[in-house]
Amino acid sequence: MPAAPSTADSQGSSPPKYRSFLFPIIAFELLVVGLTMARAIVREKSPMRYFGEAGIISWLSFLQLLVLAALSLWIFLVRKRGAPVKWTAPQSLWQWMAIGFFFLAVDEIAQIHEMVDSGFHSLFQIQENRLTDSIDDLIVLLYGIAGGYILYLFRQEFKRYRPAFKLVTYAFISTAIMVVFDVFTNIDPESNIDAFKVFFSDLESRHALLVWLQATEEVFKILAEGFFIAAFAICLQIARRLNRSTSAD
């Protein structure tokens, strides 16, 4: 049985520096988010006009998810080296990732999880309540769990990319924070608004706070995608080095 690749073999003589990928990506994302927030404030509009469905931030998320799908496919093509690969082969991790991120990109614009939520209520003739209104949040959470499960199934392949582990961890943490914000702002918004009396006495300010918390949820989604992009850029470098070391052997 062949030994698992060492960290040195996977990284090559000079491990990729994640900061060189991460900082420009996060800086760009924060610039877009900052300008979008400033536009909402200056024009005295709800931030969800730009952060909500089909807003500027949704399109940014769509493009970033397409980038992740493209990077995943690129890594897969590098790893398979022109040979046919079974769906269960270690290199197929990246094929599954490409499919998953492409689906998420489509979902970002088409709002598939929202349609499933609405379809569930229509099919079973159920009125929305505190519990069933969170079905779309549960679906988003299941997306993340499915991604983590795929990484677990193909963990031997993923272990080759140790320099990217920290960024992937940051991405999953940001995703978890996004889901928490989503659940908090969607479950019984009126009760949340009442709870905001601690901060604001007038109803309008409490509504505004809830909306900005919803916008913050979108910010963490964008940051999670940025962490994944930086991580996958490192994985692409490592995949190329793996091929070169295999060819040399």
Q: Is residue 7 part of a domain?
A: no
pLDDT of residue 191: 60
Report d(CA 232, CA 127) in Å as an integer.
Answer: 42
| pLDDT tens column, 12-62 | 445 566 678 889 999 999 999 989 888 888 887 777 778 877 788 899 999
Q: Is residue 128 part of a domain?
A: no
Q: Is residue 114 part of a domain?
A: no
Q: Is residue 92 part of a domain?
A: yes
Domain count, the chain: 1
Report d(CA 154, CA 148) in Å as an integer.
Answer: 10
| pLDDT tens column, 11-25 | 444 556 667 888 999
Q: Is residue 124 part of a domain?
A: no
| pLDDT tens column, 212-244 | 888 888 899 999 999 999 999 999 999 998 877
Q: Is residue 82 part of a domain?
A: yes
Average pLDDT, the chain: 81
Report d(CA 38, CA 164) in Å as an integer.
Answer: 33
- The answer to whether 76 and 99 have CB atoms below 8 angstroms apart is no
| pLDDT tens column, 63-85 | 999 999 999 999 999 998 877 78
> Terminal CA-to-CA distance of the chain, rounded, Å?
17
Taking alpha carbons only, the member of 72, 68, 50, 46 closest to residue 59 is: 50
Range of the domain at 21: 15-109+147-248
Task: Enumerate residues 6+ apart whose C-beta is below 8 A from 98.
Answer: 69, 70, 72, 73, 76
Q: Is residue 10 part of a domain?
A: no
Reading phi first (left if > 0) and then psi (alpha if -120 to 50, else beta), residue 14 is in beta
Measured over all CA atoms, what is the biggest interatomic distance in the chain, rounded to whole angstroms?
71
Q: Is residue 210 part of a domain?
A: yes
pTM of the model: 0.81
pLDDT of residue 126: 67
